[in-house]
Amino acid sequence: MPTLKKKSLSLYFKNRCDRQLLLYLHSDEERARLGMPERQKARPGLGKAAKAGHEYQFKRVNELIDVLGDRVLHGGVDPEEENQHQKVDLRERLESAEPYALIVEGEFEVPASFLRWAGVQELLGDPGTGEKLHNDVRPDLTEVLPAGWSPGGKRVTPQGRVVSIPADDPRLQVRVVDIKLASEPGANYFGEVAYYSVLLASALEAWGLDDRFVVLPQAAIWPGSYDDSAVVRLAREGQALGLPCAADELFTALHKDFEEIDVELFTPRIMRFLREDLPRVLGAGVEEAAWHPNYSCMGCEFYGHGWEDDQGNATWRPDHCKQRAAEGDGRLSRVYGLTRSMALELEHQGVASVKALAALTPRAQPLQRTGALRANAAKLVARAQALCQGEVVPVPGDGLTASMPAYTDLKVWIDLEYDPSTAITGVFGIRAGWMEPREFGAESEVKREQREWGRYGDRLVFLVERKDLDLERDQFLNSCAR
Ligand code: SF4
């Protein structure tokens, strides 16, 4: 019984992997029942990252409650989830909302009219069971603004179009805002808020509230920052001077921290997802759904990383992607630098495995089909041969080898610990190790010494102990000076 969740859509926008979409349309229990791969547990850091995201959001919302008071409509702290606010009924809160208000964790059910219109009713759920076809939707913030607030004078329709509204339209204007612990939110996050905006427009119509509210196309992300937010700074300055700020001033300051999107840019993609991608993936089944494991799979729970659990048991399974890709003659995705589109082209030419690619010459016809294949033919063939032979293979005419040599005389490690929420690098570290240099071919009874630089102690580790751009710059320059 597949159910459409925000996560499925967001990950599909990010990775464009049919197999991943199909797997996330099902719950753990359903995957087990249907013989699909299970999620890989024991993923280091994932729980911590989610916890940090919740804490960051909780902190930001509490700051808003501090400075905006009753204008923040929330359900209090969730007794079951530390550092989270309870969900509230969005429809109920909207019915009594005044302009310049923020509804925190306002949840709503996706209306049946939307699912019918999107054409997904037949595809999802199990007819007659009463199962939800789409999980409930809960934007972090739903902002209520006065009529005429939007300078562009536009609204989102329940069909995902953006249309003009008259300058004197009397309806309140609402928009979706998500808080993200990321200084540079990815396009998938913007896709999420665009999707929520369309769903909200559809829900307002279904509730009969579309005569009181319009959904603005300027949905927003509130990205992570090490600074206090502009609204907090303004409110504190006002308090210090004994001059409280007006609501419109405070909301104008709040908007300085937002990154707005234009929903219209995303709606064609959302519609294609609902009308083309989803039916294709559900029709394919797990064996046929397209997949191409590569670096973007790093965060996927179905990759099959070589991690063990606390008891030393393997957490990967034979049906995870990494393990499947290594089966038989090897999947083309195993060849570094061979993209999804190159793999598709080669497969069309009948070259469907690493072994088949390794048997070609760089001038072979299948490698001349596109500019990208032609330009990389020598490297791709050499890498495929290196994988098949388990040896270092030289790339003809390039002076390079197609794999890392098993042994090097000099190793240099550079470690940068980057914090994506603040865009500040917290640690610069350097370490090097090398074999004592000798003249090439020199013979000696004495074994070459191994030398290390910066292995022990902290003299080559430069910590940025505060979230401070000047300190970050100084430590970066200190590390370069070594
Ligand atoms: S590991 Fe990669 S290829 Fe496999 S399902 Fe996940 S995203 Fe797709």
- Provide the β-strand partners of residue 451: 434
> For residue 428, which phi and psi values (nearest 5 degrees)?
-115, 125
The residue extents of the domains of the chain are 6-278, 295-389, 410-481
Using CA atoms, how far apart are residues 41 and 61, in angstroms rounded to an integer? 31
304 CB under 6 A from ligand 1?
no
User: How far, in Å, from the CA of 318 to the mean position of ligand 1?
Assistant: 14
Q: In this structure, which residue's CA is closest to atom 5 in ligand 1?
A: 20
List the one residue out of 283, 301, 238 whose CA is nearest residue 39. Answer: 301
User: How far, in Å, from the CA of 359 to the mean position of ligand 1?
Assistant: 27
Structure token digits, residue 166: 């008259």
User: How far, in Å, from the CA of 5 to the mean position of ligand 1?
Assistant: 18
pTM here? 0.80
Instruction: Find the Cα–Cα–Cα–Cα dihedral 373, 376, 382, 387, rounded to 10°.
Output: -70
Q: How many CB atoms lie within 10 A of CB 57?
A: 23
100 CB under 6 A from ligand 1?
no
User: How far, in Å, from the CA of 423 to the mean position of ligand 1?
Assistant: 27
Structure token digits, residue 47: 């729980």
12 CB under 6 A from ligand 1?
no
User: How far, in Å, from the CA of 301 to the mean position of ligand 1?
Assistant: 8
pLDDT tens-digit profile, the chain (482 residues): 788 888 888 889 888 999 999 999 998 998 999 999 999 876 656 666 777 788 888 988 999 999 999 999 999 999 888 889 999 999 999 999 999 999 999 999 989 888 888 877 777 766 666 667 778 899 999 999 999 998 778 999 998 899 999 989 999 999 999 998 776 677 788 888 999 999 999 999 999 999 999 999 999 998 876 667 889 899 889 888 888 889 999 999 999 989 898 888 888 888 888 888 988 998 888 889 999 999 889 889 999 998 888 888 899 999 999 999 999 999 999 999 999 999 999 999 999 999 999 999 999 999 999 999 999 999 999 999 999 998 888 888 777 777 766 677 888 888 888 776 666 787 888 888 888 888 877 888 888 888 887 665 545 788 887 777 888 888 888 888 87
Structure token digits, residue 120: 């997904």
Structure token digits, residue 106: 């306002």
302 CB under 6 A from ligand 1?
yes
Q: In this structure, which residue's CA is closest to atom 7 in ligand 1?
A: 297
Using CA atoms, how far apart are residues 145 and 174, in angstroms rounded to an integer? 6
321 CB under 6 A from ligand 1?
yes
